[in-house]
Amino acid sequence: MKKEKDLFGNIIERKVTYWVFHDESIPSKRWFIIGLLFVKAEYLQKVEQALNYLVEKENYKGEIHFSRLPKKFQGEYGPKARIALNWLKAFEEGLSDYAKFSALAVDRFSPAYDYSRFTKEYHAYNRFTAMALKGAIAWLLGPENLDKLSIVFVSDAKFRMSRPEEGWIDNFEKYIPYRAQLDSYLSRLEGKKYPFVKIEKLETEDSSRNILLQFCDILLGATQMAIVAGSTKETKIKLGKMIVK
């Protein structure tokens, strides 16, 4: 593919920065699901304002988390569920142009799943997170024909499954940036159209203080519901049906 040039013959590089919000879910022994929400840096405030507007309409002050949604959209505890519903409606109606979501579902009962490759369980979680990131970059951002991609990666510290219980230490913070750059190099070496990728910053944050992590959680929870149908709650079934569309 020929590089685009400016009026002076200089090659124009397509460079962009995305914020990527990361969450994980283990709804059963069989499934492990990773959710990634991509928001271009220039749209970050716009997306936050849209989500906050829908929260403020309900005059709700707490955290929105899929696993804690009530059974009904009505009643005293309904605001949380109505906010989640309105977030998904906004996503359907155009918010997805600014906040792009991708999920990777891993079937651990599949004959192709090789437990021997991972000496510790969190190594598998980290590896599949890197795979989810690589796939999402190719699928979601491919049409942008980027040359260079900078990422600010924000992971939900409160609910992250890939942290082992003993000491809360793993190689996540080092592995993900390393693997993202390696996958970028190998993809381009194979002749694929794939940007130079650099994770400029990786941080973990309590989702209760980050509305974009909460939005990622709702999208991931709805995806989980669509895959495993693990709840009989009216609210969760509704969100699962919406994400299937």
Confidence of residue 3 (pLDDT cuts 50, 70, 90): low
Quick one: pLDDT at residue 139?
95
pLDDT for 72: 94
- Beta carbons within 8 Å of 52's beta carbon, 6+ residues apart: 211
Give the pLDDT score at 117. 83
* Contact criterion met (CB below 8 Å) for 37 and 20: yes
Instruction: Say what the pLDDT of residue 158 is.
Output: 65
Q: Report whether pLDDT(32) > 50.
A: yes
- Per-residue pLDDT of 75-109, as tens digits, reads 888 999 999 999 999 999 999 999 999 999 999 99
Q: Is the pLDDT of residue 167 over 70?
A: no
Say how far apart CA 91 and CA 211 lie, in whole Å: 14
Of 99-108, 113-122, 170-179, 216-225, which range is least confident?
A: 113-122
Lowest mean pLDDT among 1-5, 23-27, 111-115, 190-194: 1-5
Q: Which of 30, 26, 18, 37 is nearest to 218 (CA)?
A: 37
Return the pLDDT at 145: 93
Instruction: Sheet with 31-40: list strands edge to edge.
Output: 99-107, 31-40, 15-25, 148-156, 196-205
Q: Which residues contact 27 (CB under 8 A, 6 or more apart)?
A: 33, 224, 227, 228, 230
Distance of CA 218 to the CA centre of its chain: 10
| Per-residue H/E/C for 29-69 | CCEEEEEEEEEEHHHHHHHHHHHHHHHHHCCCCCCCCHHHC
| pLDDT tens sequence across 178-216 | 999 999 999 999 999 999 999 999 999 999 999 999 999
Q: How buried is 215 (Cβ within 10 angstroms: 0-12 exposed, 13-18 middle, 19+ buried)?
A: buried
